[in-house]
Amino acid sequence: MAVQTAPVTAAGKKLHQVHVTVNGEAHDVEVEARILLVHLLRENLGLTGTHIGCDTTNCGACTVLLNGRPVKSCTVFAVQADQASIATVEGLEKDGKLHPVQEGFHQEHGLQCGFCTPGMMMTAVALLAKNPAPTELQIRQAIAGNLCRCTGYVNIVKSIDYAARKLREPLKGA
């Protein structure tokens, strides 16, 4: 009987098979144990909407939803996400239509340079899934882990409030 060995990189590093479902699409990827989720998303899957701002969990630009919960993907090893469902900013729009959070950021001018925006949006999506009618304070508390160096957060808060109101609207024609 032959002994099966794990694949290795050219440098002799062991590779691990990781199965993730990202934005509804299944992926099987081989990664080194040291690879972070943010790098799997950006480098292996080409999903560059998830930004790397600090690599130290301070800014939140890399926030994604891991099994529905917001996480800073620079703090999660890819192997820890094995068998997980991940949502990134690229998965928000459906059928060419902006998600209400994206629409809110557009309508309320919730971004300037846009670098923090994907992480802010993913945090907002998680907040609104849990609390469809957050107060301004609850919005500010939810985004406290996301740093924006350009704005005073006023329009970001307005953007999330816009999305909350939009999501609560009864479906037209239903």
pLDDT of residue 4: 47
pLDDT of residue 152: 87
Q: Please list the pLDDT of the chain residue by residue as tens digits (174 residues).
A: 554 456 766 677 899 999 999 999 999 999 999 999 999 999 999 999 999 999 788 999 999 999 999 999 999 999 999 999 999 999 999 999 999 999 999 999 999 999 999 999 999 999 999 999 999 999 999 999 999 999 889 999 999 999 999 999 976 544
Instruction: Classify domain 15-91 by CATH number.
Output: 3.10.20.30
Q: Quick one: DSSP state of residue 67?
A: T
Q: Which residues contact 24 (CB under 8 A, 6 or more apart)?
A: 91
pLDDT of residue 21: 99
User: What kind of architecture, by CATH, is found in domain 100-168?
Assistant: Orthogonal Bundle (1.10)
pTM given for the model: 0.90
Where are the domains positioned within the chain?
Answer: 15-91, 100-168
